[in-house]
Amino acid sequence: MVPAETSSDQPSLDPTDLSPVLSPEGWALLNRLSAEGSYREADALSLSTRLRKDGHAPKLVSAVLTQLRLRGKAEAKFGPFAESMVLTQAGLEQATRLQVAALHAGRFAGAGVRHVADLGCGLGADSMAMASLDLQVTAVERDPTVAAAATVNLMPFPTAQVVCADAVQWAQQAGALPAELPDGGPSPEAGEVAEGGAQGAPDGFWLDPARRVLSSSGSSRVFDPEVFSPPLSFVEQLADSGVAVGVKMGPGIPHGAVPAGCEAQWVSVGGEVTEAVLWFNAVARPNVRRAALVLGSGPDPASPAEITSPQDFGDSHAAEVAGVGGVGGWLYEPDGAVIRAGLVADLVAREFGGVRGRLLDEHIAYFCADEQVETPFARAYEVLTVMPYHVKSLRRWVKDTGVTRLDIKKRGMAVTPEEVRRLLMSGQKGKGAGAGRHTTLVLTRVGQERLAIEVRPV
């Protein structure tokens, strides 16, 4: 393990000062309180007061309580591993869930990769998963605060080491890139890169680029892949060298920004789309251009389910196979990963052909079928009533049918569920809500026709 450097001239992505926590006193206090389960957000002030009365410095107490709070939040991503990790707020927000990181690691191991460079490793979640498969891992992190956290988090893994360095410069020194920077500048001298690079050039690279920029007012999310750090063009340069490359992107990456020749896989966990991963070379599967991977949530999630297509974005003929038809029977809302990957029509064609599955509109993600089909890729709703979308007539329908609780979903319409609910339910509050009717409306359009569809969730 190579300890992260500390440098006052390198900006920190997170303002948390880890030095008090990493002192012998701070580390012992943090782990004692964590083991005791002594921390609750509501008791933070009283606990802080007690620890200061016990003689602990205010700066140390603040740092320890920050770590306890972050460890509590981290349980959803890291499970029991969170109890011994050092964390930063920004690093936790971007960190990969452990069950997803395990799948990333499996890609590299399955492709025969033995040494992975995790460029921009953050807190080290993906590095932990790779090292747990006995892969040699060099975790490279530019920010010294985050690198310090990753160093502690990777200490249990003898095949992993952390280097505090710039990802682009480190990759050049490792021989994975030409001796010229992407912007045309000269390559750095060896002394400009932190010592302790892994022995032997990596045969795989993993990247989770920073998707936030810092300013005097804080940080803000960016969406242009060329503004990421490192940018997507840097990832393509790595891939052009022929090594195995995987890069985690935000799930909203436009299809037009996905490079040619890679596999694009969108991943959802418990119904939430968490990432899009671009896989190049040995870690890209043959005949897979687009994929949607659906995972359950919780400590024992259901088996992963995946739908794939070999066809490029916009080239699929699945919409012609699925066809477009009217509303009725059962309405389905696809998982967000299926929608992001552009695989709605593929899903309808593959799993709903025998029950007359059809799209409502080629540009709308909802689809219908004559029967209920259990699938991990979509949620089913029984269609009860189909009405034109007219606020006045819908308000009358709410009153006449005794609706006192109304859930609203929508696609393809420039309205907000909150505003529609306010308009339709105006005057209905306080009229026997406990004995009233609770129902769900789906607002969507078919062609130019706007519809309100009453459904019953399954």
| Model confidence pLDDT, tens digit, residues 118-173 | 999 999 999 999 999 999 999 999 999 899 999 999 999 999 999 999 999 999 88
Q: Which among 99, 92, 102, 96 is positioned nearest to 132, based on CA atoms?
A: 102
User: Within 10 A of 397 (CB to CB), how many other CB atoms are there?
Assistant: 17
Instruction: Tell me the residue range of the domain where 419 lies.
Output: 384-457
Mean pLDDT of the chain: 87
SS3 call for 158: coil
Beta strands in 317-416 (DSSP E): 330-334, 358-359, 367-369, 378-388, 403-410
Taking residues 355-375, report their average pLDDT: 94
- Is the same domain home to 378 and 420? no
The whole-number pLDDT of residue 433 equals 46
> Is the pLDDT assigned to residue 225 strictly greater than 60?
yes
Q: pLDDT class for 298, splitting at 50, 70, 90?
A: low
Burial 332-359 (b: 16+ CB within 10 A, else e): bbbbbbbbbbbbbbbbbbbbbeeeebbb
From residue 331, give the alpha-carbon distance in Å to each of 62, 240, 365, 407, 421: 51, 44, 11, 16, 21
- Is the same domain home to 122 and 222? yes
Taking residues 97-101, report their average pLDDT: 94
- Is the same domain home to 364 and 397? no
* Residues sharing a CB contact under 8 Å with residue 345, sequence separation 6 or more, in sequence order: 316, 318, 319, 321, 322, 359, 362
pLDDT over 70, % of the chain = 86
Burial 296-323 (b: 16+ CB within 10 A, else e): beeeeeeeeeebbbebeeeebebeeebb
The whole-number pLDDT of residue 201 equals 87
The whole-number pLDDT of residue 199 equals 54
User: Within 10 A of 232 (CB to CB), how many other CB atoms are there?
Assistant: 21
- Is the same domain home to 290 and 165? yes
Token digits for 26?
Answer: 């701070």
> Is the pLDDT assigned to residue 1 strictly greater than 50?
no
> Is the pLDDT assigned to residue 210 strictly greater than 60?
yes
How far apart are the C-alpha atoms of 383 and 264, rounded to whole Å?
34
Instruction: Say how many CA atoms lie within 13 Å of 63 toward its Cβ.
Output: 23
Q: pLDDT class for 218, splitting at 50, 70, 90?
A: low
In a domain, 12, yes or no: no
Taking residues 5-21, report their average pLDDT: 53
Number of domains in the chain: 4
Last residue of a domain, one of 55, 87, 119: 87
- Is the same domain home to 392 and 365? no
- Is the same domain home to 299 and 328? no
- Is the same domain home to 376 and 418? no
How far apart are the C-alpha atoms of 290 and 157, rounded to whole Å?
34
The whole-number pLDDT of residue 173 equals 87
The whole-number pLDDT of residue 450 equals 96
Last residue of a domain, one of 360, 382, 404: 382
- Is the same domain home to 286 and 351? no
Which phi and psi (to 5°) does residue 280 adopt? -125, 145
> Is the pLDDT assigned to residue 284 strictly greater than 90?
yes
Highest mean pLDDT among 29-38, 347-356, 380-389: 380-389
- Which pairing describes strands 367-369 and 358-359: parallel, antiparallel, or unpaired? antiparallel
